Amino acid sequence: MPAVWAGGWSDDPAIEARVERLLKQMTLEEKLGQLSQYSGNMQTGPDTGRRDYKEMVAAGEIGSFLNVTGEQANRYQKIAVERSRLQIPLIFGLDVIHGYRTTFPIPLALSSTWDTELVERAARIAAMEASADGVRWTFSPMVDIARDPRWGRISEGAGEDPYLGSAMARAYVRGYQGESLSDPTSLLACLKHYVGYGAAEGGRDYNTTEIPERLLRDVYLPPFQAGVEQGAATVMSAFNALNGVPASANPFTLGQILRKEWQFRGFVVSDWTAIAETVAHGTAIDGADAARRSIVAGVDMDMQSDLYRTALADEITAGKVPVSIVDEAVRRVVRVKFAMGLFEDPYARIAPEKMLTPDHRQSAREAAEKSFVLLKNDGILPLKRGARVALIGPLADSAGNMLGGWSAKGEEADVVTLRSVLAKELGADVTYAKGTEISGGADGGFAEAIEAARSADVVILALGEDAPTMTGEAASRTELDLPGNQEQLLEAVAAVGKPVVLLLFSGRPLVLTRAVERAAAVLEAWFPGVEAGPALVRTLYGDSNPSGKLTASFPRSVGQLPVYYNHLSTGRPLPGEFDPNSIGSASKYTSRYIDQANSPLFPFGFGLSYTTFSYGPVKLEALSYSAAELDMGKAEVKISAEVTNSGLRPGQEVVQLYISQRGTSVARPVRELKGFRRVALQPGETKAVEFALGRDELAFWNIDMQDVVEPGKLKVWIAGSSKDGIPAELTIE
Ligand code: BGC
């Protein structure tokens, strides 16, 4: 399928002619310069092998910077376009992951909104702010599927599901790249980390991944393909070895799949020093060998290894790398620079007034509210005005943590915390006690917390992880309960006997098995961004009704991992629910643990509301369809269900469509998400929600590794989570 370039530029002949003209004028050194990217915040000088960046830019030895912004970017650009021989402009990239100055909720939280329009808007806002500060390329979205919350980077993605992940990938690309790459507010999107990085063994960051080809194609590749089809201009090759081959030197994933099958026309940048790391992986003998393997496999730009610039010329002279491969990589890079309009308009118009506008804040608040997932509520929420509140916990007033693990130019001073909003709104009716630290805290603060709980009607307890150190890159954990002595604080406070509303701030699914029992209500708030406080207070008091749904399963224990909803059945599925007394009975020899249920504590798709929704039966338009017609795109399975707001408050429900197939050449998951819609309903209101399943939803990689719709039985659920609903069944002949 040919790639569609965002903004409708696809192989523009005028651009192609300019690319060829430029290429002819370039020396080999200048070509390798275009393929080299350096971080502005790294040292240069004798020990680094690099000279002053200004000299290097003037000599045409650098094609792109990361971590250079604002006027500094314009200063380097001036050198590139005025002093370098061919005047090729630089591109400035940065990790703009969930907002630039206006920090939005972390990506895992954004995915929990299931609101692609909102995610697109968040990405657009990030693009407008970043481009007003010299940045035209973001290393986002991370579209790695993650089934293991031990992996800290689960916070940066859209969770465990390829269908949702693909929808989110498209939304980010649309938002970042906008109407056209040549629009000065457009950021190049970068789909990362290609590929399999999220499947790190044991959830340990940078670890090896083993993913059979069918699983790779069914689960890990679809969000990348969706992003490529949406027109993403760049892809980042990952750190991990995939089935023994480093992803940053992998001809199968980079050459065969990305270039040949998907016709990707943008360029591939390596992850940070990932080319050099192929030596540590053990495939490359030395730096020169690493550079050779990566460029031949299809990595166009070297981020920070300093190997393309320093080692490739000799490899070419020695005949080990054909110059045509380098030429092709250069074409890909400069083609994007032409498409961005950088040759005509290289400088950024720095505009601080475009940052953190009231509109941007408003969108950040909306995103935060829609991302909150209500995990438990015995009726205490929403809180009644007039109740005296004890606000306790190390995250109640932690501005820095609200920014999450990777906040480009977010500032603590921009954050409105929960404590500050409650203090303003409740005055003397709120008492604050920190209670303990996130980790390493002693129980010295417990007494004050208990005292605060005693004198209140209700306790709001703000607990969780430390965003910068416990989530994101290089932050894998083996224990997933609340860090430090926060569980003890919860117990001590709960023992007072006042209802406890537990607010959780985390970058991953946590193990909440014990914590949930102690609390009257639990709201997963992730790391909500600059508008954390207003969004939380509006939600706690019912001005906003929670509507987020989990995009990654919350396990009962670490021992259950990996636990994800779209698993296979096995030949001995556990019938019904877990019953510890059934050991020795008929269910002993089923696929199960003897000491715990198979199911997660909170499943994918789960999330409560202050109202309730009821689902009517799944209605089918027909009971049988032809596999051949479905496969050719000539037919679609139409299904619908009525959804009613059966409670007393207006609310929004994320209606989810799941399928499962039987009678197929390979076993298919017990359920797979294949559609979703956010529906707003007034109390008592009913809406019919319709879905269509076509080739894109029904085809899978079969026993012959063909992507086809096979005959079989198809079950369909329309429900409010991956565990709910009664399926209807039809036949694909
Ligand atoms: C991360 C990437 C990031 C890059 C540049 C790497 O360590 O893995 O996700 O884009 O650094 O900052």
Dump pLDDT digits (tens) for 250-298: 999 999 999 999 999 999 999 999 999 999 999 999 999 999 999 999 9
Rounded to the nearest angstrom, the distance between the alpha carbon of 138 and the centre of ligand 1 is 11
Task: Tell how far the Cα of 211 is from the centroid of ligand 1, in angstroms.
Answer: 22
Nearest CA to ligand 1 atom 12: 95
Domains 372-540 and 611-733 share a fold: no
Nearest CA to ligand 1 atom 7: 272
The pair phi, psi for residue 382, each rounded to 5°, is: -70, 150
Q: Which CATH class is domain 611-733?
A: mainly beta
Q: What is the dihedral of CA 564, 373, 610, 491, to 10 degrees?
A: 100
Residue having the nearest C-alpha atom to atom 10 of ligand 1: 139
- The three-state secondary structure class of 78 is helix
Q: Is the CATH number 3.40.50.1700 carried by domain 372-540?
A: yes
Closest CA to 402 of 508, 512, 533: 533
Query: Alpha helix locations (H) across 345-485?
Result: 358-371, 399-402, 418-426, 446-454, 467-470
- In tens, the pLDDT along 150-166 reads 999 999 999 999 999 99
Q: What letter does residue 253 receive in the DSSP assignment?
A: I
Q: What is the pLDDT of residues 199-211, one digit of tens each?
A: 999 999 999 999 9
> Residue 364 and residue 396: Cα distance in Å, rounded?
19
Binning pLDDT at 50, 70 and 90, where does residue 3 land? very low
pLDDT in tens, 81-140: 999 999 999 999 999 999 999 999 999 999 999 999 999 999 999 999 999 999 999 999
Please name which of 605, 711, 700, 702 lies closest in space to residue 221, comparing C-alpha atoms. 700
Are the C-beta atoms of residues 516 and 358 closer than 8 Å to each other?
no
Three-state secondary structure along 516-554? HHHCCEEEECCCCCCCHHHHHHHHHCCCCCCCCCCCCCE
192 lines ligand 1 (CB under 6 A): yes
Q: Is residue 241 within 8 Å of residue 210, measured between CB atoms?
A: no
Model confidence over 640-673: pLDDT tens digits? 999 999 999 999 999 999 999 999 999 999 999 9
- The domain locations on the chain are 6-339, 372-540, 611-733
Ligand 1 geometric centre to CA of 239 (Å): 10
Quick one: pLDDT at residue 46?
A: 78
User: Span 6-339: which CATH code?
Assistant: 3.20.20.300
- CB-ligand 1 contact for 473 (6 Å cutoff): yes
Q: Is the pLDDT of residue 731 over 90?
A: yes
Active-site positions read 271
Asked whether 177 and 96 are in contact (CB, 8 A), the reply is no
248 neighbors 299 (Cβ within 8 angstroms): yes
The reported pLDDT for the residue numbered 7 is 42
Running DSSP on this structure, what letter comes out for residue 82?
I
Helices (H) and strands (E) in the chain, counts: 23, 27
Other Cβ atoms closer than 10 A to 105: 32
Higher-confidence residue of 332 and 405: namely 332
Tens of pLDDT, residue by residue over 475-521, are 999 999 999 999 999 999 999 999 999 999 999 999 999 999 999 99
Residue 296: the pLDDT is 98
> Between the CA of residue 490 and those of 181, 208, 450, what are the distances in Å?
50, 37, 10
pLDDT for 1: 31
Closest to 700 in 3D by CA, of 712, 692, 690, 691: 712
Cα distance between residue 332 and residue 334, in whole Å:
6
